[in-house]
Structures are given as C-alpha cells and as structure tokens.
Amino acid sequence: MTTATSTISSTPRSRPVISQSIQTSLSAPVATRSVYRRPRTRPCEHGALWTDRRPRRSAAPDYARPVTTFAAVILLVSAVWSFIVWPPFLRRVTKDPRSRGADGRGTRFLAVHVVLVSVSLLIAAACAATGIVLLVT
C-alpha cells in the first residue's frame, strides 16, 4: 500500500492513497441514486399515477382573495363617497361671496377649490376603476 506524503513536511502520512478507478466505481452508484432518483409513483384510484412529491404552492397565499375583495370594496366605497360629497361642496363654494371679486371674475379662492374638487374627483375615478378591476379579476 502506498502512503501519501505531505507537501509541508517530508514525513509520510498514515492515510492510504486510493486509485482514481476504485474511487469512481465506489462513489458513482451512490451519487446516481441520491441525485438522479426518479420520483416514486403509485396508481391512484382513478388510474393516474400519483407522485410523492409535494404539490407546488401558488405564489399568492390562501388569504389573498378575501383581502383583494376587501380592498376593492373599500376603493369603491371611497369613490362613491367622493362623488357624493365633492360636487355639492363645489356648488356651495361657487355661491360663496369670496369666490367672485368686485368685477365679477373668479378669485383665487374659487380657483383653489375648483382644482381641489377636480383632483379629488380624478382620484375617485381612479379608485373606482381600480376597485372594478380588482373585483373582476
């Protein structure tokens, strides 16, 4: 039996050197069985083969659909609320004496509130569209 020598010192080591052919023939079946193993199958009651692999889980958790539905309802309720509340507010602002100047032109008070109501109604429309898309999909 041949012994290996260390590169650091010239004293022989006690570990025997195994030839490459012996090492390959002993380790190949072990690696093949563990790495390349086929899944075990057995017939189900309806004739198809059942594998004992775990079923793939979907990316979304089980509670994702109720949460999505809840979010869609909240978006729709907030959109309806905005469409109910903002137009009467704008009518009251236009009747306010601060919205028109002495010459009858609109003031900054009116312009700011028109922009506020317009942006709020655009956001309400986006919320309504998102809520509808979430409910449909």
Instruction: Check: CB of residue 126 under 8 Å from CB of residue 74.
Output: no
Give pLDDT tens digits for 35-87: 555 555 665 666 555 555 555 555 666 667 788 899 999 999 999 999 999 99
Instruction: Check: CB of residue 13 under 8 Å from CB of residue 6.
Output: yes
The candidate with the shortest Cα–Cα distance to 90, out of 67, 68, 119, is 119
The candidate with the shortest Cα–Cα distance to 2, out of 22, 11, 13, is 13
* pLDDT at residue 8, as a whole number: 57
Give pLDDT tens digits for 90-105: 999 999 999 999 999 9
Q: In angstroms, rounded to a whole number, what is the distance separating the alpha carbons of residues 24 and 64?
A: 51
* pLDDT at residue 137, as a whole number: 84
Give pLDDT tens digits for 115-131: 999 999 999 999 999 99
Bridging pattern class, strands 41-43 and 12-16: unpaired
Sequence ranges of the domains in the chain: 64-136
By the 10 Å C-beta count (0-12 exposed, 13-18 middle, 19+ buried), 130 is classed as: middle
* pLDDT at residue 126, as a whole number: 98
Is 89 a residue whose pLDDT tops 60? yes
SS3 137: coil
Higher per-residue confidence, 110 vs 12: 110
DSSP strand E in the chain: where?
Answer: 3-5, 12-16, 41-43, 49-51
pTM score over 0.75: no
